[in-house]
Amino acid sequence: MDGIADYVFLRQLGQGPHGRVQLARTPARLAVDDEHVAVKVIGGATSKDAFYRVAQELGSIAALRCELLARVFDVGLHEGTAYIAMRYYPRGSLVEPGMQLSRRQRLVAVARAARAAHELHEAGTVHRAIKLSNVLLDDAGGCLSDPGTAQLLKPGLTVTGLGPSSDMGARSELEYVDPWLLRGRHVGRSSDIWSLGVTLHAALTGHGLYPRMPSTDPLVAVRLHVKATPELDPDLVAEERAVIGRALHPERSRRYRTAAELAEDIEALAHGG
């Protein structure tokens, strides 16, 4: 069995674009009650500079002490490999929840993620990586995890490499990215609001907004993706379409002004339906 630093891995919880997430026993030095923690091992080498940037950023997010954000305990660098140790959420994420979820539970989880994003925005931070797999399930109904650190590891980076063989992965990673970012525009509240809209659509319908990608060549994929128009599932009811449509408005200025306003509308959907 593997490990990193003083974490001994018990089993793999999942794999994402930046590395693997492993279940580990909690080292005593963390001084937390949880028996287990989830450790994300960042693939590839991380320089000290990049590590300090990530640690700094995660430190200021942890200082918000926001209950809506997944808790990070420890960030480390071991022989050039960075890791992030966080609370283990046994019920998993909205991608593959460890239990059957009702429509209402799914909506509550996305609404809480939207509120979490708002807290980050009010603290001057853009999340950059809101998606189903980063909405983790807890007793309170859900929380938002993994504020994007890719940008801190590689300045200028907008989308992390889609990988050579992951046409499915490529598709879904790209979908969550505000098309304005692929045109070179900067991140802001509105780009996170776009990602929340895609997350909401996926949580309600179980699928994405774009047709299957005809090409797996990333150079072609990015170009085609930006020219494609997202299409909402025809089975959505009018109220749902209205909320998603406003979060995904092609003009940034006509989207929800804040993630909190979006959260309110998602909560209304949860309690209405």
Partner 1 sequence: MNSEAGTVEPTAGPNSDPVLVEVHPGAGVIDRHENVLLVIPVVGTHQWPQVKELLELWHRPGAHIPNAQERTADALLTAAEAGGLPGLVLLHGLDGDVDVRAYGDVEVTLDGSDQRSFSGTDARPWVARRVPGSVSILRVLAGGAAGSTTPGPSPFHLEGGTVPGSGVTLHRAGLPPPLSGAPQATVARKAVTFESVLLTDVAEQRPPRRPALPLEDPADLLDVAPEGETPEFVDGVECPMGHFNDPASTNCVTCGTALEWLPGRTVRRPRPPLGVLVTDTGSVFALTGGYVIGRAPERDQAVLSGRAKALVLHDVGQSVSRVHAQLDVSGWRVFVTDRGSANGTFISRAAQGAPWERVRDNPPTVFTPGARLRIGGRQVLFETYREEAAGRVGRL
Q: Kindly identify the residues of this chain, within the stretch 195-224, that bind partner 1 according to CB under 8 A.
A: 217-219, 221-223
- Measure the CA–CA gap between 13 and 193, rounded to whole angstroms: 28
According to CB under 6 A, which residues from 104 to 163 bind ligand ATP? 129, 133-134, 136, 145-146
Three-state SS for 153? helix
Three-state SS for 208? coil
Here's the x/- map for ligand ATP, 31-70, by CB under 6 A: it reads as -------x-x------------------------------
Work out whether 258 is an interface residue with partner 1 (CB under 8 A): yes
Here's the x/- map for Mg ion, 125-144, by CB under 5 A: it reads as ---------x----------
Q: What is the DSSP string of 73-122?
A: EEEEEETTEEEEEEE--TT-BSSS-SS---HHHHHHHHHHHHHHHHHHHH
Question: Tokens for 206?
Answer: 């179980």
Closest approach of partner 1 to the CB of residue 148, in Å: 13
C-alpha atoms less than 13 angstroms from C-alpha of 255 in its C-beta half-sphere: 24
Site for partner 1 (CB under 8 A): which residue of 23, 101, 181, 268?
181
Q: Say if residue 48 is exposed, middle or buried (CB neighbours under 10 Å; 0-12, 13-18, 19+).
A: exposed
Q: Decide which of Mg ion, partner 1, ligand ATP, none touches 32; Cβ closer than 5 to 8 Å per partner kind.
A: partner 1
- Give the interface size with ligand ATP as a residue count (CB under 6 A): 23
* Contacts to ligand ATP by CB under 6 A: 13-18, 21, 38, 40, 86-89, 92-93, 95-96, 129, 133-134, 136, 145-146
